[in-house]
Structure 1
Amino acid sequence: MSDRSSTGESGSIYYDDQEIIPDNGLKIETAPFGLEKLYDYEPGGHHPVHLDDVFNNRYRVIHKLGSGGFANVWLCRDLAAGLPKYVAAKVIAAEGSTAECPESRVGKLLETGCEREATAIYFSLPLDQFEIHGPNGTHYVFVYPVLGPRVSKLLHLSRLDDPGPQLRKICLEIAQAMATLHAHGICHGDFRPANILARIRGFDGLSEETVLEILGRPETTKVILVSGETHTLKTAPQYLIYPVKWDEVLLNPNNTSLTTGSACLTDFGESFESSSPPVEVGIPQVYYSPEQALEGKVGEASDLWALGCTLFEVRTGRKLFDTFDGDVDECLCKIALLLGKYPEPWWSETWASRRHFFQDEGDGDGKVVKVPRKPSTGNRTDAPQFHRPVYERPIPRSLEEIIREGAIFDVNKGPHVVVKDITTQESKIFADLLGRILNYNPKKRLSAEEVGQHEWFKL
């Protein structure tokens, strides 16, 4: 399986100066947004799947729930059930289908004495597991209950006068999920909104026709050769399927009661035992703790930092330390601008490029001071695009200030968004909670259990 994860890397072919064609010579007819990569349909990669395929003589594919480089997730009807029953079948790429498959790590929750009933409250546990064999190899398949969208994208809550109580309830469950993991010696390693999904009331008992009326019928795009002809490769499907568009589903007035208002933690692919932290984990850099970014240290403390970022994102619909491209230096800058100077030796020694961005000393209020922008010389070789006058949006310099900007719901997929105010009282209390989680000293951060006991959840 190819290890390429972005366009333009070694091994891809440029086509018409824009499109990237994988080594297998295939392309699709329409936009690739939301789809898996064609170059992952090769030995070691994804299993080619079409609608109405049946896994293990039991699970028939009727739609796609999600896609990625590690696995694709399919909405299936369970043919072994009497009444209509639906499940999510996660088909792991062949290269990842080994005895050390990260997906199976969730089983450690059960091995550590945590009862299945308790874990089922916060986590998505496999209902079934088996192997399938195809042209690209052997694939592990994990069958789960069907879940909804990520909890930071519950756009239908924009219809409420005050979505705060519902979002705080979800945030409490998120904190309790982490507390359960940490109590059993497990770190999640990739704790972020993308891996926390909303529970739905389920489709069991409904006809397939009704389910597809709710979710929308599958949209496909044909897979063809670069020449435009139909391909005959066994390693790739004849078409790719776009995942369910949850934004559209939840904004439909007929589906207002589809979600239960509860959260479910998923994707344990980066999880590890607290006593044996790995060298690194694959969490996106915008959720890195300072000690992870500067020293490569991961553990319960870095999980907690990610929890703080996640709580903010779920409550406000915005990333706390949003960046243009996820660059580590940019992330560190965003953190310093909001939370202040890093302690030594991080500030003066560990962060090698810090002096490119900030002066050694802060201002009278203890805030970091940017290095003045270099004036343009007018010479085009002097990279004038970096020095020309630009409008800079005022940057919030405290947690309370950034919280007061409100909760944003991008219901129109454009510049016009719905903004719900967050009261001054809640802003102060929420800022206190986040400040206690996002402490630069890893040892002084609130534990996940302590987070769940904070006053913010009692508003």
Structure 2
Amino acid sequence: MSSDTESERSAYDQDYDNYDAYSEAEAGNGLIIEGPPTGLEKIFDYEPGGHHPVHLGDVLHRRYKVMHKLGSGGFANVWLCHDISPQASPSEKYVALKIIMAEGSTKECPELRVSELAELADRSAISTGLWCLPLDRFDIEGPNGKHFAFVYPVLGPRVSRLLSLVNNSSADPGDALRKICQQTTWAMALLHSIGICHGDFRPANILVRVSGLNDLSEEEVLSIIGQPQTTKVIKADDPESALSDQAPKYLVYPLDWDTILSSSPQGTALLDPGTAQACVIDFGESYPISKPTPDLGIPQVYCSPEYTLEGKVAIGSDIWALGCTLFEIRTGRKLFDIFDDDKDEYLAKMALILGRFPDRWWDDVWEARESYFKDVNADGKREGGGRVVDVQPQGDSDQRPEARSLEDTIREGLFYEHRGRPGGIERPISEKEAVVFADLLGKLLTYDHQERISPAEALGHKWFHVHFK
């Protein structure tokens, strides 16, 4: 498992110039760190109910030796460990150990849903490797309380970072991206087949597996990923005095996949876009298809229109998120990109691409609609992508967004950032592929959630099985 997810990184990527360690110390446990806080857990979370203190070289559960940190989050830290047990599987020599804060280690812990998922699924579904399921689970009794600990496979970056990190050739990555999309769709199909919706299905929760680590010694692994960097923990009012056992002597900065996978041949060898395998993580928002949750924790840009407008959650919510996710993986862009999760802006962009909403939503439910669109008569309708767009955006003509079909949006091509290419890399998507891909997305993103095709049906679509030139 990797921690390269929006939820585990963005909350702690702070502006060091604006960081006031002493204010944090006054508000928390009186501790500060000497270095910048970027990528680190909050130091004031080392108190009863908080994080378990861990040091490099610690051996947990008599088998997991801590080598590096994979990431930090709001309720857990994730460590790269070497399984030194004689019973360790050669294919799982290095693992990701996720330690939950004590206050979160209860029967309501979202991480427990992953274990429940493993019990529901049959061996054939698990063997695909498309879900990140725990290899082991145990409890840690520490100075800050009891902590749940989950052992996972080591995963690499999110799928949306794949090309940015390792694609240096002029070859068209379309086939590799369609393969990742196919695996992503298959992962959801398997999940739905056992009666579970993911609830937070998006590119940030789809990582790619790294290969080759388990063949290496600890020294060889660290030569590739880099030696851990640390920052000392001290008391704000008495830096020379000893710390209690509730806090570690230092915090460890998480490793950086961007640097690892793009800075050396050994690092690049860990991940090949042509053979990369997708793996879905974070089942904390999952729910039974038969008992939908009342609320979703997924960002607005992946929310279905029925949830956005009426708060309705069903299996169609997952399918809508799948459509948005496939577009993002293939093009490197969000389908409905908005600022600050603005619901009305999201609905407006949706209507511009997919067309007018059903009458009840358009005329009654979407209260802000007239701030964005005015209706036009039949002569003003525009055909596009197999859909009728009979809306005209309000505002000055030189500033308002242009109505586009799915095909138009796909034709803009693939874009991804790359360290070696300032300004990023753009690649075209062929006319033939744009038409076929738009057909698939149209079936996943229809406004009537009952008419959306299932992930299993989507797997039979032509887009997954044709090589486009």
Q: Does TM, normalized by the shorter one, top 0.5? A: yes
CA contact (8 A) 1:146 1:202 kept: no
CA contact (8 A) 2:393 2:400 kept: no
The residue type paired with residue 189 of structure 2 is A
Gaps of 5+ in 1: 8-14, 375-390
Change over 3 Å in CA distance of 1:291–1:30 after alignment to 2:
farther
Gaps of 5+ in 2: 1-8, 383-388
The residue type paired with residue 238 of structure 1 is K
CA distance in 2, matches of 1:234, 1:147: 31
User: Superposed, which structure 2 residues align to 1:49-198 within 5 Å?
Assistant: 49-81=54-86, 85-112=93-120, 114-121=121-128, 122-154=130-162, 155=164, 156-198=166-208
| CA shift for structure 1 position 393 | 9.4
Partner of 2:444: 437
Change over 3 Å in CA distance of 1:397–1:111 after alignment to 2:
same
Q: Deviations over 1:353-385 (max 9, x none)?
A: 2233322458531253233269xxxxxxxxxxx
Change over 3 Å in CA distance of 1:176–1:50 after alignment to 2:
same
CA distance in 2, matches of 1:50, 1:327: 42
* Stretch of structure 1 that moved more, 26-35 or 132-141: 26-35
CA distance in 2, matches of 1:136, 1:89: 18
| CA shift for structure 1 position 287 | 1.0
Q: Secondary structure at the match of 1:125?
A: coil
The residue type paired with residue 161 of structure 1 is A
* Stretch of structure 1 that moved more, 268-277 or 35-44: 35-44
Matched, 1:241 2:246: no
Q: Secondary structure at the match of 2:248?
A: coil
Change over 3 Å in CA distance of 1:62–1:361 after alignment to 2:
farther
CA contact (8 A) 2:213 2:270 kept: no
CA contact (8 A) 2:410 2:434 kept: yes
Q: Secondary structure at the match of 1:91?
A: strand
Partner of 1:364: 381
CA distance in 2, matches of 1:236, 1:100: 25
| CA shift for structure 1 position 280 | 0.7
* Stretch of structure 1 that moved more, 422-431 or 92-101: 92-101
Q: Deviations over 1:311-369 (max 9, x none)?
A: 11111222222222122223222222222222132222222222333224585312532
| CA shift for structure 1 position 238 | 3.5
CA distance in 2, matches of 1:142, 1:238: 24
CA contact (8 A) 1:97 1:139 kept: yes
The residue type paired with residue 44 of structure 1 is G
Normalised by the length of structure 2, the TM-score is 0.84
Matched, 1:294 2:309: yes
CA contact (8 A) 2:233 2:248 kept: yes
The residue type paired with residue 372 of structure 1 is G
CA contact (8 A) 2:155 2:209 kept: yes
Change over 3 Å in CA distance of 1:160–1:128 after alignment to 2:
farther
CA contact (8 A) 1:77 1:87 kept: yes
Aligned CA RMSD, in angstroms, stands at: 2.9
Q: Deviations over 1:379-435 (max 9, x none)?
A: xxxxxxxxxxxx969657222222222222211299510122211111111111111
Residues paired across the two proteins, number? 433
Matched, 1:339 2:339: no
CA distance in 2, matches of 1:310, 1:74: 28
1:428 to 417, 422, 435: 435
CA distance in 2, matches of 1:319, 1:176: 21
The residue type paired with residue 45 of structure 1 is G
The residue type paired with residue 144 of structure 1 is Y
Matched, 1:323 2:338: yes
Partner of 1:379: none
2:37 to 32, 40, 43: 32
Change over 3 Å in CA distance of 1:454–1:209 after alignment to 2:
same
Change over 3 Å in CA distance of 1:17–1:250 after alignment to 2:
closer
CA distance in 2, matches of 1:276, 1:356: 36
1:458 to 441, 460, 465: 465
CA distance in 1, matches of 2:119, 2:152: 19
The residue type paired with residue 205 of structure 1 is D
